[in-house]
């Protein structure tokens, strides 16, 4: 017995599915609407490529399977009586395995190869970034419900008088590697820079890290991507990407201000740690 008797219903369903698929593939909007947020980073295209390829491959598979079901349900069935089959014959099992195997190899193989290559050459290649003399190091201390940031300052050491210390305000220059080391003093948070396609968990008792390189100056969101309590939704900050000159000017000024506010006895303010590095 067929559940729906009219091919018209199938065509409507197909049309609806194509409309939804079209919406999913809509071009990214600047900051709002559907699609991914603006990618302001140099390496973020690798993440977007993986997301795009996953969408295209699963979209193709969806259309094949959906088309097949529509054909079998509404067209093939008109001429052929339905026959019950356990699907345990050698032939059925071989066909099923061959199809599942090829989907696995093409889709997962492709994603696995490209993502591990990206990790190895780029995202986990801290060695190269640590060696770069222009690299900026920032420590992030997450707590309910804000982001403390600490830059080493001109002396390159943390917890010294020339550190730049900010709250929910992180500024970085373009075309410069920036390494973040991220800790949490209370619960799980996740330091999320959607416009740089980077995110890492802030875990009590651990220091996690990632590095980015910015491309497009502007003001972007810093978000928390782990539910961390009643004010999780308020746990945001601003990431400002500046030109190299603007950044140098800001850093010199901020370092001088932090130096004036430095208080030897205020131990709570000296939350930074020795850079973990490699
Ligand atoms: Cu911190 Cu959510």
Element (H, E) at 139: strand 136-143
Q: How far is the CA of 18 from the centre of ligand 1 (A)?
A: 37
Per-residue pLDDT tens over the stretch 184-211 = 999 999 999 999 999 999 999 999 999 9
Distance 185 CA to ligand 1 centre (A): 12
pLDDT value for 270: 85
Instruction: Give pLDDT, residue 5.
Output: 47
Q: Which atom of ligand 1 is nearest to the CA of 187?
A: 1
What is residue 74's predicted lDDT score, i.e. its pLDDT? 86
Calculate how far, in angstroms, residue 207's C-alpha sits from the geometric centre of ligand 1: 16
pLDDT of residue 3: 45
Ligand 1 atom with the smallest distance to the CA of 229 is 2
Q: Within a 10 A sphere around the Cβ of 232, how many other Cβ atoms?
A: 17
Ligand 1 center to residue 258 CA distance, Å? 26
Q: Residue 9: its pLDDT value, please?
A: 61
pLDDT tier, 21 (very low <50, low <70, confident <90, very high otherwise): low
Q: What pTM, to 2 d.p., does this model score?
A: 0.80
Residue nearest to atom 1 of ligand 1 (CA): 189
| Confidence (pLDDT) at 73 | 85
Ligand 1 — pocket residues by CB below 6 A? 145, 189, 224, 226-228, 232, 235
Ligand 1 atom having least distance to the Cα of 224: 2
Q: Decide: residue 153, CB within 10 A, 0-12 exposed, 13-18 middle, 19+ buried.
A: buried
Looking at the CA of residue 142, tell me the nearest atom of ligand 1. 1
Over residues 209-230, the pLDDT tens digits come to 999 999 999 999 999 999 999 9
Distance, CA 143 to ligand 1 centroid (Å)? 8
Higher pLDDT pick, 247 / 19: 247
pLDDT band at 14 (very low <50, low <70, confident <90, very high): low
- What pLDDT, in 10s, does the model give residues 98-138? 999 999 998 899 999 999 999 999 999 999 999 999 999 99
The secondary element (H helix, E strand) that includes residue 155 is none
Rounded to the nearest whole angstrom, what is the distance from the C-alpha of residue 180 to the centroid of ligand 1? 17
């Amino acid at each position: 017995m067929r559940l729906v008797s009219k091919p018209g219903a199938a065509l409507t369903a197909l049309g609806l599915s194509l409309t939804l698929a079209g919406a999913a593939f809509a071009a990214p909007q600047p900051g709002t609407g559907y699609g991914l947020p603006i990618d302001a980073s140099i390496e973020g295209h690798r993440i977007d490529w993986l997301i795009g390829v996953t969408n295209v491959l699963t979209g193709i598979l969806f259309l094949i399977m959906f088309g097949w079901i529509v054909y079998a349900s509404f067209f093939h069935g008109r001429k052929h009586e339905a026959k019950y089959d356990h699907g345990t014959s050698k032939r059925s099992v071989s066909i099923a395995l061959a199809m599942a195997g090829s989907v696995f190899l093409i889709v997962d193989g492709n994603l696995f190869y490209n993502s591990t290559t990206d990790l190895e050459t780029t995202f986990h290649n801290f060695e190269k970034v640590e060696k770069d003399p222009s690299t900026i190091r920032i420590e992030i201390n997450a707590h309910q419900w804000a982001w403390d940031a600490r830059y080493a300052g001109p002396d390159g050491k943390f917890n010294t008088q020339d550190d730049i210390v900010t709250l929910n305000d992180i500024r970085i220059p373009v075309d410069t590697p920036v390494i973040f080391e991220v800790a949490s003093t209370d619960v799980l948070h996740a330091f999320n820079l959607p416009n740089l396609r980077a995110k890492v968990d802030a875990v009590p008792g651990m220091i996690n890290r990632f590095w980015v390189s910015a491309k497009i100056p502007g003001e972007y969101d810093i978000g928390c991507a782990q539910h961390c309590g009643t004010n999780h939704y308020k746990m945001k900050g601003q990431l400002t990407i500046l030109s190299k000159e603007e950044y140098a000017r800001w850093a010199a000024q901020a370092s001088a201000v932090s130096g004036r506010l430095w208080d030897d006895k205020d131990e709570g303010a000296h939350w930074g740690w020795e850079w973990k590095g490699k």
